[in-house]
């Protein structure tokens, strides 16, 4: 689901972090296993160094340096890969990550800690093993490993397979969760939708005319199916909660709480909300500024089991009387994890909110470039903040 504000699944994020950590851990274990397995090939090298007077501490330092350099090379290649693939990742995910992330302490401190700990522990045991060879025995070809060393390597192999199994299970769990969410019906069509944040400057006397002209100009583009403006977009929490809403004539103590969304005439059609009864807002009805559209769970909260029964009924909204003209099916406004909220859609033709632009299939980069150009023409000085869904 498109999320215009941070609203990810924390469990999935932590599971992905655990998977990433285990991948690094497996790499370290592999390095330790390979380094100790190749110890016999470097035994004579160690023997020669010791024969010419090298101390064990010096040899440990040499092998630890090799470990640090190898880990540094791995980190450098990983960072280079991130920089090269970041534009592609942003386009596929709809995120706007930038290389400025590399200037943050929150990025470098954990990475440095992981690098230091990884370099130390992945290099320590091989360094101790290699530096412990006796020079005379090595030069005679009499190299043997202790029982403790054999047991440790076996333990590392067992850990390697256990970590690989966890990695496989974790990856399958994330894949199944994502597949399940994709198969669920949201009750709202967010595919091929580009969302623009509202302009930062909205108190200009010409702003509303610019708003209408910008929307009309976008609708002239063949790559755009529809444009709607609303106080919030799918993926965000509702505009505000309002309590005390009740059917006309009902006691105030029986008022209910609803989430309010301000929309224009095109919102319901643009997002393809299913009308169960009644009609959409229409410019043909001059009374629609005093009309509301509820979702199914909202009219049930008012006491109507059948959506058709709610049509034409009046409600008291903080002393103002509104008429119910339509009932939509329930839809997930914020997340599949959340239960349906009772929603009240209120017509606000002059709403100063988010632009939802429904795009035809095509080259997304060119479509975004065209929209950016129009934005800069109508709202100069306002930065373009956008996200893409589907």
Reported as a single tens digit per residue, the pLDDT across 134-149 is 655 555 555 555 555 5
In this predicted structure, the answer to whether residue 133 has a pLDDT above a threshold of 70 is no
- Which of 136, 165, 183 is a domain's end point? 183
- Within-domain flag for 340: yes
Same domain, 339 and 233: yes
* Residue ranges making up the domain that contains 349: 193-389
Which pLDDT band, with edges at 50, 70 and 90, does 3 fall under?
A: very low
Please check whether residue 78 is in contact with residue 70, taking contact to mean a CB–CB distance below 8 angstroms.
no
- Which of 137, 157, 183 is a domain's end point? 183
Same domain, 198 and 154: no
Would you state the pLDDT for residue 2? Answer: 43
- Within-domain flag for 188: no
Q: Name the domain count of the chain.
A: 2
**Could you report the per-residue pLDDT of 48-91, keeping only the tens digit for each?**
777 777 777 787 888 888 888 988 998 899 889 988 888 887 77
- Within-domain flag for 2: no
pLDDT cut 70: percent of the chain above it: 84
Would you state the pLDDT for residue 138? Answer: 54
Cβ count within 10 A of residue 23 = 12
- Which of 183, 211, 242 is a domain's end point? 183
- Within-domain flag for 3: no
**Could you report the per-residue pLDDT of 295-325, keeping only the tens digit for each?**
999 999 999 999 999 999 999 988 889 999 9
Same domain, 216 and 147: no
The C-alpha atoms of residue 26 and residue 35 are separated, in whole angstroms, by 14
- Within-domain flag for 275: yes
Same domain, 165 and 249: no
Lowest mean pLDDT among 3-12, 75-84, 119-128, 175-184: 3-12
The C-alpha atoms of residue 118 and residue 79 are separated, in whole angstroms, by 17
Would you state the pLDDT for residue 1? Answer: 39
In this predicted structure, the answer to whether residue 40 has a pLDDT above a threshold of 70 is no
Same domain, 178 and 299: no
Would you state the pLDDT for residue 228? Answer: 94
Please check whether residue 389 is in contact with residue 190, taking contact to mean a CB–CB distance below 8 angstroms.
yes
Which pLDDT band, with edges at 50, 70 and 90, does 267 fall under?
A: very high
Please check whether residue 160 is in contact with residue 30, taking contact to mean a CB–CB distance below 8 angstroms.
yes
Cβ count within 10 A of residue 182 = 9
Spatial CB neighbours of 59, under 8 Å, sequence gap ≥ 6:
46, 49, 50, 127, 130, 131
Same domain, 158 and 261: no
Same domain, 114 and 33: yes
- Within-domain flag for 4: no
Would you state the pLDDT for residue 350? Answer: 78
Q: Give CA separation, 356 vs 129, 211, 223, 251, 277, in Å.
A: 63, 13, 14, 39, 25
Same domain, 223 and 172: no
Q: What mean pLDDT is reported for the chain?
A: 81
Same domain, 164 and 292: no
Predicted model pTM: 0.62
Same domain, 45 and 173: yes
Mean pLDDT of the 93-105 span: 72
- Within-domain flag for 66: yes
Please check whether residue 30 is in contact with residue 161, taking contact to mean a CB–CB distance below 8 angstroms.
no
In this predicted structure, the answer to whether residue 236 has a pLDDT above a threshold of 60 is yes
Q: Give CA separation, 104 vs 4, 6, 84, 110, 385, in Å.
A: 23, 19, 19, 11, 22
Which pLDDT band, with edges at 50, 70 and 90, does 39 fall under?
A: low
Same domain, 107 and 231: no
- Within-domain flag for 288: yes
Same domain, 146 and 256: no
Q: Give me 90's structure tokens.
A: 């942003």
């Amino acid at each position: 689901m498109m999320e215009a504000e941070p609203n990810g699944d924390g469990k999935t994020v932590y599971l992905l972090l655990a998977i990433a950590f285990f991948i690094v851990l497996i790499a370290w274990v592999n390095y330790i296993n390979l380094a100790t397995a190749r110890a016999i090939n470097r035994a004579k090298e160690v023997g020669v160094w010791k024969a010419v007077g090298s101390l064990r501490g010096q040899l440990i330092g040499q092998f630890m340096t090799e470990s640090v350099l190898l880990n540094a090379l791995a980190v450098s290649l990983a960072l280079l890969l991130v920089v090269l693939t970041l534009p592609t990742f942003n386009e596929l995910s709809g995120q706007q990550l930038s290389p400025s992330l590399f200037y943050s302490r929150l990025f470098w401190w954990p990475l440095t800690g992981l690098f230091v700990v990884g370099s130390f522990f992945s290099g320590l045991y091989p360094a101790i093993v290699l530096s412990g060879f006796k020079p005379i025995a090595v030069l005679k070809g009499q190299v043997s490993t202790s029982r403790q060393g054999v047991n440790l390597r076996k333990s590392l192999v067992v850990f390697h397979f256990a970590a690989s199994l966890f990695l496989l299970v974790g990856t399958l769990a994330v894949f199944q969760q994502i597949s399940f969410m994709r198969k669920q019906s949201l009750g709202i069509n967010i595919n091929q939708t580009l969302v623009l944040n509202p302009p930062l400057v909205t108190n200009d006397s010409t702003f509303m005319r610019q708003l209408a002209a910008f929307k009309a100009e976008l609708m002239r583009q063949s790559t755009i199916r529809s444009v709607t403006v609303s106080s919030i977009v799918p993926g965000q929490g509702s505009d505000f909660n309002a309590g005390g809403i009740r059917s006309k004539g009902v006691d105030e103590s029986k008022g209910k709480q609803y989430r309010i969304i301000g929309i224009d005439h095109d919102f319901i059609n643009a997002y393809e909300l299913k009308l169960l009864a009644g009609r959409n807002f229409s410019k043909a009805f001059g009374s629609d500024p005093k009309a509301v559209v509820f979702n199914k769970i909202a009219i049930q909260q008012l006491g109507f089991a059948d959506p058709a029964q709610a049509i034409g009924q009046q409600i008291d909204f903080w002393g103002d009387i509104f008429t119910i003209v339509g009932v939509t099916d329930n839809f997930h406004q914020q997340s599949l994890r959340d239960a349906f909220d009772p929603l009240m859609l209120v017509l606000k033709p002059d709403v100063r909110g988010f632009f939802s632009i429904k795009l035809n299939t095509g080259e997304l980069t060119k479509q975004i470039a065209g929209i950016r150009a129009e934005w800069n023409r109508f709202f100069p000085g306002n930065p373009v903040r956008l996200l893409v869904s589907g």
